[in-house]
Structure 1
Amino acid sequence: MNTTFTEPAKKHLGQNFLHERGEIDKIVQAVDPQPGDAIVEIGPGQGALTFPLLRKHGALTAIEFDRDLHAPLQAAARAHGTLRLIEGDVLGVDFTALAAEMAPAGGQIRLVGNLPYNLSSPILFHALDHAAAVRDMHFMLQKEVVERMAAGPGSKVYGRLSVMLQAYCAVTPLFIVPPGAFRPAPKVDSAVVRLVPKPPAQVEVADHRTFANVVRAAFGQRRKTLRNALNGVADTARIEAAGLRADARAEQVEVAGFVRLANLLAGG
């Protein structure tokens, strides 16, 4: 049963509503909701993904910024399951507190969503801040963003996003979604990606803030060598002590190299 509605997309909110049934089914299959899962959808929009997830799982929490969508979402959701809506900006939602509420006794939430193109990176970094409370994430983003997320050293698109995400998560691109699957159709391809946070014992970063500062500085001016890009953050002796070449550029350094340097700096 298709009970999506046709509230017009708002360009200033970066809304592109998914409507292609085949692509929606592929996303639901990738998420594979199981009994007892605490699923949180970011930006349900017109419910294209929300309602199939509800039919499969029975209950869902969704975070929606656009208050004009709340009443029609709630009304349409009743035919499929129990929808709890949180109104507001996802960047202001404490995922750790939400996990404690939805999945007590140390449980975790599962994040799902068609992320607005203009907010995808901030949302990813926000989720990363709460990685210990998140079991996995299935997001649809611009294809080029997914390529950056999964890129390895030496790639032209390997950068801050690649390093920060891969230090804390396993990143797996799943499939491409064409523009025609959305209304209105964007001018770029989209892609679905799975992120699985590493268990805390497997995260080798000693201090998150130091690591984030090192990675940000290193990629702040991509054409510069580490010696110059990290001026004021790490001197040549520290860079080389971490097993890195001071004349290398950030895009040549693997994730583990940034972790070693940040840990060295964090240790004094």
Structure 2
Amino acid sequence: MDRLSSHRATKDIVDKHGFKFSKSLGQNFLIDDNVIDKIIDGARVKEGDKVIEVGPGIGTLTREMAKRAEKVVAVEIDKNLIPILKETLADFDNTEVVNEDILKVDINKLVDEKLSGGPVKLIANLPYYITTPIVMKFLEEDIPVTDIVVMVQKEVADRMNAVPSTKDYGALSVAVQYYCDTEIVAKAPRHMFIPQPKVDSTVIGLHIREERKYKADNEQLFFKTVKAAFGQRRKTLLNSLSSMGVLDKAKIKEVLAEAGIDEKRRGETLSIEEFAHLSNIINKNI
């Protein structure tokens, strides 16, 4: 079987199995060879690698990854796609399909049982409404993941990749960049999918650092500080951080002075390093 990444090949498989696309599951299948190759390159997939793919669809990307990786475990929620994947992946004995909801799966157990304990790479073409929960699940749950490459709505990728003092910079930017180096891997306009979605997409690569670039003494407090700073973007840091309920306004004023941060600045102007420094001083004063 040749590559499946064309409109004709995809339509033939779908029609053969009488498959109906589900809007609720956000099913849009990629039909562009170039973007598929960029995803695999962006994840740095090579011989010996173990990959978790979320949302394999009909196996278009799965097949190409299986040609390079040691093993690919594809997690697919839609039981109607399982017989299609059985057919399209029949030539690859280094692939395995798991019919589960990725948000309900014990990822570390999956890695231990099916991927020899990792490390793993996560590659996904996700319904946009679950993009952030899945990415943060992999970052926060101490999963042995080295690279995350996901197809997301363009605006979400812009937020993940944003720098301070820009309109896209926010709590998601800080959360992702606290753990990872980010890069835009590819752009995927809506015409590259079947059926066509209503928005354009971007593939973003998140490369997890082996060591933290920013040192937060209390990570829970760090993220609480970030969330408060961006909670109401028009508020100054003095006012937004006072609403955290951790320290009173007078103490927050002292903390900001000790951190060397102007109390009139807004959260969107702070670098991740400044957020880490600030949260460490708040932590000392609690």
TM-score (norm 2): 0.85
23, 36, 52: which one pairs with 2:48?
36
Alignment of 1:21-170 (within 5 A): 21-57=33-69, 59-101=71-113, 102-104=115-117, 107-130=118-141, 133-170=144-181
Q: How many aligned positions are there?
A: 266
Structure 1 segments of 4+ aligned residues over 4 angstroms from their partners: none
Paired residues of 2:180 and 2:209 also in contact (CA < 8 A): yes
Structure 2 unaligned segments of length 5 or more: list them. Answer: 5-9
Cα-to-partner distance string for 1:88-124 (whole Å, 9 max, x where unaligned): 22222333343444243xx411111112111111112
- Note closer, same or farther for the CA distance 1:206–1:67 as it changes in structure 2 (3 Å cut): farther
List gaps (5 residues or longer) in structure 1. none
Aligned to 2:32: 20
Q: Cα 1:236–1:89, aligned 2, differ >3 Å: closer, same or farther?
A: farther
Q: SS where residue 60 of structure 2 aligns?
A: coil
2:276 corresponds to 1:259: yes
Q: d(CA) in 1 for partners of 2:222 and 2:108?
A: 21
Instruction: Quote how far apart the aligned CAs of 1:129 are.
Output: 0.7
- Higher Cα Rg, which structure: 2
The 8 Å contact of residues 39 and 61 in structure 1, kept in 2 or not, is answered as yes
CA contact 2:120–2:146 (8 Å) conserved in 1: yes
The answer to whether the 8 Å contact 2:39/2:186 transfers is no
Residues 217/19 of structure 1: CA separation in 2 closer, same or farther (3 Å cut): same
2:204 to 182, 186, 193: 193
**Aligned residue for 2:7?**
none
Q: Secondary structure at the match of 1:200?
A: coil
1:177-256 aligned within 5 A: 177-231=188-242, 232-234=245-247, 235-256=252-273
SS in structure 2 at match of 1:11: coil
Pair 1:22–1:252, CA change in 2 (3 A): same
SS of 2:36 mapped into structure 1? helix
**Alpha-carbon distance in 2 for matches of 1:43, 1:63:** 6
The Cα of 1:265 is off from its aligned counterpart by 2.8
The C-alpha deviation readout for 1:64-84, integer Å capped at 9, x for no partner, is: 121221222123211234322
